[in-house]
Amino acid sequence: MSETGATTILKEEVDIVIPTIRNLEFLEKWRAFFQPYHLIIVQDGDPSKVIKVPEGFDYELYNRNDINRILGSKSHCISFKDSACRCFGFLLSKKKYIFTIDDDCFVAKDPSGKEINALEQHLKNLLTPSTPFFFNTLYDPFREGTDFVRGYPFSLREGVPTAASHGLWLNIPDYDAPTQLVKPLERNTRYVDAVMTIPKGTLFPMCGMNLAFNRELIGPAMYFGLMGDGQPIGRYDDMWAGWCMKVISDHLGFGVKTGLPYVWHSKASNPFVNLKKEYKGIYWQEELIPFFQSVSLPKECTTAEKCYVELSKQVKAKLGKVDEYFNKLAENMVTWIEAWEELNPSSVPSKSDVLPNGSAK
């Protein structure tokens, strides 16, 4: 599809969600690409601080006071002083597609020197099917100039709906604290010109820096957990969301893509601070991955909400013994879904439930 086509059609169906603690000068660099879209800014930290947003952007901004006011007794499910608070924006949005980006990510250039419209590429990824059941060696078969290769079963070529599009980063790679400490100078300079579906049954480390998803299909699974202030870990918010989202997408028959688009990640976070946030996650993860690899959801779970509630039960039953934290997390997973259902009542038909002539299905 042409860039203009996708942009025009989808302008009203996309929200850009940005968690931040600072003035958003970085938006100046994105003006050409983001200005047509609506922004949801989630202020992470001291609500008395005033965040400046460059002129001309269409945005709403929520701080902790707003979160408490809007969610009331459920507000504890949203993390404080951690970018995990971004999922509050997912909850509030009424749009079909979400693009979320960190405020230290800038416009990257492709090898020809052209500035990359990251949102545009994410929409292309989300609007074309995924192929999770069989690997295509020439990568995304729906991309222009390529196709399914010889030996790809014809019955699988229709593909499945794409739930999420995971973009990458040039310059500072998304490394954990130990790797940052060992390789302080490593920079990602390799532009890999590919988009691919992560196969069914395979988990991956989902980074929240440059991520888009179909909120109608998978929004309720995009909970970024409990991190930051008062919690024993940080920097596992996006990982948690990614594991939950992937097993639920696999169960519901949706696809997850990774690869293009790149953003330019400008600065490495402090590895010592990161180590403190991560260290429990690093060893808990060794039990979390086998758990997620063996999760099985019953047939009755036909929506992301139902899957997520069922998953919370399995988290409690199987991870509660790893640490008390997971019991608390499991409870907050349920609170998150309650908040989701309150703010997104299913009685209001979503766009996709409405036929072209306006009558409900």
Binding track, positions 58-97, relative to a second copy; x by CB under 8 A: ----------------------------------------
Which token pair is 272?
């010592």
Which token pair is 89?
């924006």
- For residue 156, the surrounding DSSP H or E stretch is none
Nearer to a second copy, 15 or 174 (CB): 174
Nearer to a second copy, 106 or 191 (CB): 191
Q: Is there a contact between 264 and 108 (Cβ–Cβ < 8 Å)? A: yes
For 180-236, give the secondary structure using H, E and C.
Answer: HHHCCCCCECCCCCCEEECCCCCCCCCCCCEEEEEHHHHHHHCCCCCCECCCCCCCC
Q: According to CB under 8 A, which one of 89, 129, 161, 173 is a site residue for a second copy?
A: 173
Q: Which stretch binds a second copy (CB under 8 A): 142-150, 225-233, 326-334, 336-344?
A: 142-150
Which token pair is 50?
């005033």
Binding residues for a second copy restricted to 317-346, rule: CB under 8 A: none
Identity of residue 240: W
Best CA proximity match to 194, nearest among 168, 170, 214: 168
- Contact between 49 and a second copy by CB under 8 A: the answer reads no
Please count the other Cβ atoms lying within 10 Å of the Cβ belonging to residue 21: 14
Nearer to a second copy, 59 or 204 (CB): 204
- Contact between 193 and a second copy by CB under 8 A: the answer reads yes
- Contact between 291 and a second copy by CB under 8 A: the answer reads no
- Contact between 263 and a second copy by CB under 8 A: the answer reads no
- Contact between 202 and a second copy by CB under 8 A: the answer reads yes
Nearer to a second copy, 207 or 295 (CB): 207
- Contact between 135 and a second copy by CB under 8 A: the answer reads yes
Secondary structure letter of residue 13 according to DSSP: G
- Contact between 136 and a second copy by CB under 8 A: the answer reads yes
- Contact between 201 and a second copy by CB under 8 A: the answer reads yes
- Contact between 128 and a second copy by CB under 8 A: the answer reads no
In angstroms, the CA 71 to CA 67 distance is 6
Q: Residue count of the chain, please give it.
A: 361
Measured in degrees and rounded to the nearest 5, phi and psi for residue 33 equal: -95, -30
- Contact between 100 and a second copy by CB under 8 A: the answer reads no
Best CA proximity match to 268, nearest among 104, 81, 102, 26: 104
Q: Is there a contact between 127 and 107 (Cβ–Cβ < 8 Å)? A: no
Q: According to CB under 8 A, which one of 53, 61, 275, 282 is a site residue for a second copy?
A: 282
Closest separation between CB of residue 180 and a second copy, Å?
9
Residue numbers at the binding site for a second copy (CB under 8 A): 111, 134-139, 145-156, 166, 168, 173-176, 178-179, 183, 186-194, 198-207, 235-236, 238-239, 242, 258, 278, 282, 285-286, 289
